[in-house]
Amino acid sequence: MKLTVLFESKVNLNLPKDYRRYFLSFLKKVFEKAGFKNIFEMKKYRPYTFSVWLGENFNIDEEVSTDTKISLLFSSGDPVIITHFYNGVLRLKKERYKPIGELLEIKDVVLLPNKEIKANKAIFKTIGVCVFNNPQALKKDFKSWYITPYDDLDKFNEILYHRTNDRFRYLTGRKEAHPIRLNLLENYLIKEVMVKHYNGYVRGFKGVFELSGSPEILQFVYDYGFGIRTGQGFGLLELVNGL
């Protein structure tokens, strides 16, 4: 289930490259307003993901320049989370809360049509950036700590299986494991991306790819995000086909 929050500013915004922190603060304010701030006490995985759309003509240089209209896409497989988020945004809108100084205003929050995955394969497009790390590597070895499908596809899929099923068990309370694998597509490329995040950088990827696995696990990554740091604005996927 997905929602989009529409924002509007009277002028184009200039944001730092680690702009996600502003919207993380916005999410905290939303859930506090909805009376559900204990969601941030979940230490391991958050039951949602999100991504920020910076407009048609955004530009990244020393800062991030945006359009006057931007949006936040929020996703969760838990209807309780969706309800709290929706209600929290409406309350902030009523109070005329502005998440970035006095510049950005909440215009609306819209519930998007639900998509159910029933097939064993689906093609996805990243919204933003997806991040995975290799737990067998050292954190100080930046290139090896983060892994993309182009680094070593077999190793990536091994990590994908364990990471995804660990999150699946934690967030759903179910004990079974489901197969899942990323398959590269001949006519589409995956691009490696370096992203500034708080006081450092993360290495991730974006593009179009196929995931194969059980419908349950494909639905899970579509709803809850793909990879790690999903609660920090990474890993949101758009379904291209596979319904």
What percent of the chain has a predicted confidence (pLDDT) above 90?
A: 64
Is the model's pLDDT at 37 over the cut of 70? Answer: yes
* 121-241 to CATH, choices 3.30.70.2660, 3.40.50.300, 3.30.930.10, 3.30.70.1900: 3.30.70.1900
Mean pLDDT of the chain: 89
Q: In the CATH hierarchy, which top-level class contains the domain 2-111?
A: alpha beta
What average pLDDT does range 128-154 have in this prediction? 90
Cross-strand partners of 227: 131
With a cut of 90, say whether residue 124 has pLDDT above it: yes
pLDDT of 28 higher than 60: yes
What are phi and psi for residue 176, nearest 5 degrees? -75, 160
Domains of the chain, residue spans? 2-111, 121-241
Can you tell me which residue has the tokens 């708080």?
198
How confident is the model at residue 242, as a pLDDT?
45
In this chain, the answer to whether the domains covering 2-111 and 121-241 adopt an identical fold is yes
DSSP string, 131-157: B-B-TTS-TT-HHHHB--TTT-HHHHH
Per-residue pLDDT of 223-239, as tens digits, reads 999 999 999 999 999 99
Most confident of 49-58, 115-124, 141-150, 196-205: 115-124
How far is C-alpha 86 from the geometric centre of its chain's CA atoms? 17
The predicted model gives 173-195 an average pLDDT of 93
Q: How many Å apart are CA 48 and CA 232, to the nearest integer?
A: 9
pLDDT at 181: 98
Q: Quick one: pLDDT at residue 61? A: 66
Which pLDDT does position 196 carry in this prediction? Answer: 80
pLDDT tens digit string along 82-118?
999 999 999 999 999 888 777 789 999 999 998 999 9
Summarize pLDDT for 45-61 with one digit per residue, the tens.
899 999 988 877 666 76
